[in-house]
Amino acid sequence: MHLTGFMLFSPAPHTQLSWVYPPEKIRYQWHEVEYWEEIARTLEEGLFDAFFFADAWGGGDRTAIRWAIQFPRHDPLVLIPRLSAVTERLGFAVTMSTTFYPPYMLARKLATLDHITKGRIGWNVVTSINDSEARNFGVELPPHDERYDRADEYLELVDALWGSWEPDAVVMDMEAKVFADPDKVHRIDFAGRWYSSTGPLNVIPSPQGRPVIFQAGSSERGREFAAQWADCVFAVGGTPKRCLAFRNDLEERMQRRGRDPAALQIINFCGPVVARTQAEAEALAAEISERIPAEAAIANMSGHWNMDLTALPPDTRLSALGEIEGTRGMVEAFQATGDPTLAEVARSYLNMASQEAFVGTPEKVADTLQDLFENGGVDGFQFSPQWYAPDYYRDIVDLLIPELRNRGLVRDRYTGVTLRQHLSQTAAD
Amino acid sequence: MHLTGFMLFSPAPHTQLSWVYPPEKIRYQWHEVEYWEEIARTLEEGLFDAFFFADAWGGGDRTAIRWAIQFPRHDPLVLIPRLSAVTERLGFAVTMSTTFYPPYMLARKLATLDHITKGRIGWNVVTSINDSEARNFGVELPPHDERYDRADEYLELVDALWGSWEPDAVVMDMEAKVFADPDKVHRIDFAGRWYSSTGPLNVIPSPQGRPVIFQAGSSERGREFAAQWADCVFAVGGTPKRCLAFRNDLEERMQRRGRDPAALQIINFCGPVVARTQAEAEALAAEISERIPAEAAIANMSGHWNMDLTALPPDTRLSALGEIEGTRGMVEAFQATGDPTLAEVARSYLNMASQEAFVGTPEKVADTLQDLFENGGVDGFQFSPQWYAPDYYRDIVDLLIPELRNRGLVRDRYTGVTLRQHLSQTAAD
């Protein structure tokens, strides 16, 4: 079972108002690097595969500012190198948009990061969905499917850049004063429909060669993209049956491309509320759910779904919103429960404290995860903190991980060094 | 006297083949983070103001690959956070191009870095001069002066983003559950000729508010830009008289804008070869100069001047090259020596080991620097390593800095915490 820890470089990840916490328990605030160092050390202690950073470039309306809904959001790319200094094996995955990063820039930053982290970097590929991001860049977003067509071309280009140095090109012969063999460093002269670059990349081959590729889109076009490029796909979840259908669908798409389905890890989003007793966990979950104002949850949905829902009456039905392009998996999960109102959706939107099976003792939550792992074709879990993040992860590592380890479901040591090695570590290793 | 340490994240900064060094003396190679950590610690021990990273996005022809001429070149932006972990006061300045970074992206990265370094970040503004960079991004460079017109607009935009949060906007009131006051976080709705962005920035006010602005262009248009925006300007140097003329020119331009000339620091490029005895220093300088192949030096000039000089006969006269737009200060300095050939220029191009006044004992080199400081209106020096960088800086800090300190020319402690405070620290502090 592979584990990743989800965060935004912000006051709160997905759970609205998770930054509200008894002040006397707060050691560091989210904008201080020590807060992140503590989380990174905790995840490494728990032998997580990676520390995952979501990211986006927009937001900032009045509601978001008031409640800190995915805003502010600092740049995770320049935080990760700092966290690599206090960890030795933990991987890092960073979200970067193919819409806003020029490909040569992205390829170079990730290759450099792979050197700095000594092979521990992954890239979560997003195409960006939010108009407020586009407005910050003074551009308009291409339509959804075209963004993926562009992303395909983008990946071809950055892949070519990462391959522009042959693995043995660097010689550094002090005697002959030859740095590298010019016959083994190649221009790529890529000229696509949307992107072009001559290369070669100005970074020597990095420990992993290329970063591990993460992806999370669940649309038809997003799945095609994942089947082509992803090493690891994030899924929203649901029942084991629903998870298995998702896996089967992705595997078929991979096979059609001649890719080995075993090369893909599917990681489910989760955010369990774990405590020593069931009563304690339920009290905590109730407190979390109560704290979330519907207004804040609706603002969060607005950002993810790229629709301003804040002006609509809270009793608006989901069906009245028409086509929602953003985070299809989530929308579908809500639609499957009937045709709820915005207020009803808001109550449970990304609020894992509202999901009974994820609230309880270590044994109970381990049962839930084990069921998805064994019967849902799920390879692992992406945790999202439900309260002050350093303490949330502390509890997961102190309470839940030992239970998973007792069951032989998670590693008891890192056998590899790079993130790619962690993700391919199996129970047999 | 303010001191900065110049590097590229590459095998060699300006001095060709400075990566060639007795293998038994090499502790870490340039692509390993430990190499950089050692330099950063050494600069902090020497109480330097900042560790400075030049940068560019191009290069990579056969000659450059063979000799490692400004290529490869990894991304310094993701190295600096790592170096901030092993230092407490040392500032960092990073080169970022207004041509290749979207303004919102740059503003956010630098503001985040200012948080991560706790107020120790500076930005060296460049507009990019090299066609090979543009080709990597699939674009064409605008003409020289238009690049500066764009840069002016760019600075206006990022300055507005950095000001989009009022200093006291963040409340983080746990009781009332208010993160920030929406009345104190503003959209900027910037719509310029080349750039637009709505804002607000998604980063809360950082320790310095905005990064320290460095600039190095010496053209007419570059000076106008510096007079408008720069906190610190890098100059190529020359005689005290020539330096003073440069200072007077910049001061006049600042006064015309109503800016206080005292707000600007002028830092001269240098790379002394210092040893305990004059004979030792001269032997070292001779060894360095001898090692540099004309072919490598000409390739280096080609990159800086954005002209392919490698195909020309080595006896081509400078005057035959026509207008050279790139690094005017350097070109002028060579023109002032007559009309040398490419081979002659190559011998001394950015090779400080060839400059008699910068080769010698600590006393002699301190005399040279003191003269420029006292009679040339120069506020400090940017050092560029002439050999394996960790050892080069070790020698500067062990040999030259104590001599400068004995003369009361450099600080004996940091009185401030931020880079801006370091640069405004005076002898009286």
Tokens for A232?
């690891």
pLDDT > 90? residue A359: yes
pLDDT > 90? residue A129: no
Is there a contact between A251 and A245 (Cβ–Cβ < 8 Å)? no
What span, in angstroms and rounded, lies between the C-alpha atoms of B249 and A268?
A: 63
Helix (H) or strand (E) holding B135: helix B131-136
Question: Would you state the pLDDT for residue A261?
Answer: 95
DSSP structure class, residue A70? S
- Sequence-distant (6+) residues with CB within 8 A of B323 are none
pLDDT > 80? residue B333: no
Query: Is B33 in the A-facing interface, judged by CB distances under 8 Å?
Result: yes
Nearest of A384, A427, A364 to residue A52 by alpha carbon: A384
Three-state DSSP class for B47? Answer: coil
Query: Is B101 in the A-facing interface, judged by CB distances under 8 Å?
Result: yes
DSSP structure class, residue A420? H
Q: Smallest Cβ distance to B72: which of A101, A195, A204?
A: A204
pLDDT > 80? residue B251: yes
Instruction: Count CA atoms within 13 Å of residue B336 on its CB side.
Output: 10
Pairing mode, strands B170-173 and B121-126: unpaired
Helix (H) or strand (E) holding A381: strand A380-383
Q: How many other CB atoms are found less than 10 A from the CB of residue B90?
A: 26
What residue in B sits closest to A113 (Cα-Cα)?
B78
Window from B29-33, B41-45, B338-342 with minimum mean pLDDT: B338-342
Give the Å distances, CA to CA, from B141 to A29, A101, B75.
Answer: 43, 18, 21
pLDDT > 70? residue A328: no
Which 355-384 residues of chain B touch chain A by CB within 8 A?
none
Buried-exposed string B360-395: b where 16+ CB fall within 10 A, e elsewhere: bbbebbbebbeebbeebbbbbbbbbbbbbbbbbbbb
Which 60-79 residues of chain A touch chain B by CB within 8 A?
60, 62, 65-68, 71-75, 77-79
Is there a contact between A5 and A50 (Cβ–Cβ < 8 Å)? yes
What span, in angstroms and rounded, lies between the C-alpha atoms of B159 and B152?
A: 11
Mean pLDDT value across chain A: 93
Is there a contact between A233 and A214 (Cβ–Cβ < 8 Å)? yes
* CB burial of residue A24 (10 Å; 0-12, 13-18, 19+): exposed
Question: Would you state the pLDDT for residue B350?
Answer: 76
Domains and CATH numbers, chain A: 2-278+351-424 (3.20.20.30), 293-350 (no CATH)
Tokens for A120?
């521990």
What span, in angstroms and rounded, lies between the C-alpha atoms of A167 and A297?
A: 49
- Could you tell me the pLDDT band of residue B329, with boundaries at 50, 70 and 90? low
Find chain B residues with C-beta within 8 A of A172's C-beta. Answer: 11, 19, 29
Window from A200-204, A411-415, B127-131, B400-404 with minimum mean pLDDT: B127-131
Contact: B177, A136; criterion CB under 8 Å? no
Is there a contact between A18 and A387 (Cβ–Cβ < 8 Å)? yes
Question: Would you state the pLDDT for residue B297?
Answer: 85
Q: Smallest Cβ distance to A109: which of B19, B75, B111?
A: B75
pLDDT > 90? residue B24: yes
What residue in A sits closest to B171 (Cα-Cα)?
A66
CA of B354 to nearest chain A CA: how many angstroms apart? 21
- Sequence-distant (6+) residues with CB within 8 A of B399 are B274, B275, B276, B362
Question: Would you state the pLDDT for residue A322?
Answer: 78
Three-state DSSP class for A153? Answer: helix
* Segment B123-133, tens digit of pLDDT: 999 998 788 99
Three-state DSSP class for A197? Answer: strand
Question: Would you state the pLDDT for residue A219?
Answer: 85
Give the Å distances, CA to CA, from B186 to A351, A364, B41, B224.
Answer: 30, 47, 40, 30
Cis omega (within 30 of 0) for bond into B167: no
- Sequence-distant (6+) residues with CB within 8 A of B66 are A178, A179, A180, A182
Find chain A residues with C-beta within 8 A of B299's C-beta. Answer: none
Residue type present at position B28 = Y
- Could you tell me the pLDDT band of residue A426, with boundaries at 50, 70 and 90? confident
- Could you tell me the pLDDT band of residue B334, with boundaries at 50, 70 and 90? confident
Q: Smallest Cβ distance to A104: which of B62, B137, B172?
A: B137
Contact: A180, B108; criterion CB under 8 Å? no
The percentage of residues in chain B with a pLDDT greater than 70, rounded to a whole number, is 99
pLDDT > 70? residue A327: no
Mean pLDDT value across chain B: 93
Is there a contact between B315 and B346 (Cβ–Cβ < 8 Å)? no
- Could you tell me the pLDDT band of residue B214, with boundaries at 50, 70 and 90? very high
- Could you tell me the pLDDT band of residue A325, with boundaries at 50, 70 and 90? low
Measure the N-to-C terminal CA separation of chain B; round to a whole number of Å.
13
Tokens for A226?
């994942």
Mean pLDDT of A181-199: 98
DSSP structure class, residue B95? E
pLDDT > 70? residue A277: yes
* Segment A12-44, tens digit of pLDDT: 998 889 999 999 999 999 999 999 999 999 999
Question: Would you state the pLDDT for residue A326?
Answer: 57
Question: Would you state the pLDDT for residue A172?
Answer: 95
Three-state DSSP class for B254? Answer: helix
Which 42-61 residues of chain B touch chain A by CB within 8 A?
57-60
Question: Would you state the pLDDT for residue A334?
Answer: 79
Nearest of B196, B204, B41, B54 to residue B128 by alpha carbon: B54
Find chain A residues with C-beta within 8 A of B189's C-beta. Answer: none
Q: Smallest Cβ distance to B82: which of A21, A84, A196?
A: A84
Contact: A74, B112; criterion CB under 8 Å? yes
pLDDT > 70? residue B33: yes
Mean pLDDT of B224-230: 96
Find chain A residues with C-beta within 8 A of B130's C-beta. Answer: none
Nearest of A51, A59, A58 to residue A99 by alpha carbon: A58
Question: Would you state the pLDDT for residue B292?
Answer: 85
What span, in angstroms and rounded, lies between the C-alpha atoms of B46 and B401?
A: 7
What span, in angstroms and rounded, lies between the C-alpha atoms of A316 and A322?
A: 12
Three-state DSSP class for B7? Answer: strand
Contact: A60, B200; criterion CB under 8 Å? yes
Window from A58-72, A394-408, B82-96, B103-117 with minimum mean pLDDT: A58-72
- Could you tell me the pLDDT band of residue B325, with boundaries at 50, 70 and 90? low
Is there a contact between A21 and B174 (Cβ–Cβ < 8 Å)? yes
Measure the N-to-C terminal CA separation of chain A; round to a whole number of Å.
13
Q: Please spell the DSSP secondary structure of A211-249, one letter per residue.
A: PEEEE---SHHHHHHHHHH-SEEEE----HHHHHHHHHH
Question: Would you state the pLDDT for residue A335?
Answer: 77
Buried-exposed string B330-357: b where 16+ CB fall within 10 A, e elsewhere: bbebbeeeeebbbebbbebbbbbbbbeb
pLDDT > 80? residue A62: yes
Mean pLDDT of B40-60: 96
Nearest of B392, B355, B385 to residue B372 by alpha carbon: B355
What span, in angstroms and rounded, lies between the C-alpha atoms of B197 and B182?
A: 19
CA of A408 to nearest chain B CA: how many angstroms apart? 35
What residue in A sits closest to B291 (Cα-Cα)?
A177
As a whole number of Å, the CA-based R_g of chain A is 22
Nearest of A197, A196, A200, A204 to residue A186 by alpha carbon: A200
Q: Alpha helices, DSSP H only, in B257-327?
A: 278-291, 294-305
What span, in angstroms and rounded, lies between the C-alpha atoms of A258 and A228?
A: 10
The listed range with the strongest mean pLDDT (A17-26, B202-211, B352-361) is B202-211
What span, in angstroms and rounded, lies between the C-alpha atoms of B348 and B292?
A: 9
Mean pLDDT of A383-396: 97
Window from A165-169, A403-407, B39-43, B346-350 with minimum mean pLDDT: B346-350
pLDDT > 80? residue B335: no
- Could you tell me the pLDDT band of residue A113, with boundaries at 50, 70 and 90? very high
- Could you tell me the pLDDT band of residue A191, with boundaries at 50, 70 and 90? very high
What span, in angstroms and rounded, lies between the C-alpha atoms of A16 and B151?
A: 39
- Could you tell me the pLDDT band of residue A173, with boundaries at 50, 70 and 90? very high
Nearest of A384, A350, A305, A288 to residue B177 by alpha carbon: A288
* CB burial of residue A313 (10 Å; 0-12, 13-18, 19+): exposed
pLDDT > 90? residue A421: yes
Q: How many other CB atoms are found less than 10 A from the CB of residue A282?
A: 16
Find chain A residues with C-beta within 8 A of B137's C-beta. Answer: 102, 104-105, 197
As a whole number of Å, the CA-based R_g of chain B is 22
pLDDT > 70? residue B328: no
* Segment B288-299, tens digit of pLDDT: 988 888 888 888
Contact: B116, A33; criterion CB under 8 Å? yes
Question: Would you state the pLDDT for residue A254?
Answer: 97
Helix (H) or strand (E) holding B179: strand B178-180
